[in-house]
Amino acid sequence: MGLTDAERLYPADPDTGDHLGLISKMPTCTHLDRVRITQLPQSVNGCEDCLASGGEWLHLRICLECGKVGCCDSSPNRHARAHAASSGHPLVRSLEPREEWSWCFVDDFALLVPEVIGETHIPPSPLG
């Protein structure tokens, strides 16, 4: 079987098999060893801090290190981010229906953490 034009023009690194250095340039999260929550709860009541203070949330996130439920950056109080900053717990996962992405606040990018399974029933957002 012959080489493609791309393979001829841009040979793979013999050690990594990486074409054009794309694999080595992809961001990686350096905090995956901090994931402790791998099974999402069946249901939550809302953002824990908003419920305690009478605040309102838009979307919910769960800390993958301790399980604290906080509100997203589009919510007025941004409790998930505040928890990450105060606790040093960098990773959250969206609890919104049909969303499986996670976010690392330290590395500042989204990722999938396939070890985290389940789906959480959440109440409607007070903000719509």
pTM value?
Answer: 0.81
Residues 61-93 pLDDT 10s: 999 999 999 999 999 999 999 999 999 999 999
Q: What phi and psi, each to the nearest 5 degrees, are found at residue 5?
A: -60, -40
Q: With a cut of 50, say whether residue 22 has pLDDT above it.
A: no
The tokens for 66 are: 């301790």
Residues 97-126 pLDDT 10s: 999 999 999 999 899 999 999 999 999 999
Edge-to-edge order in the sheet of strand 109-112 = 69-71, 60-63, 91-94, 101-104, 109-112
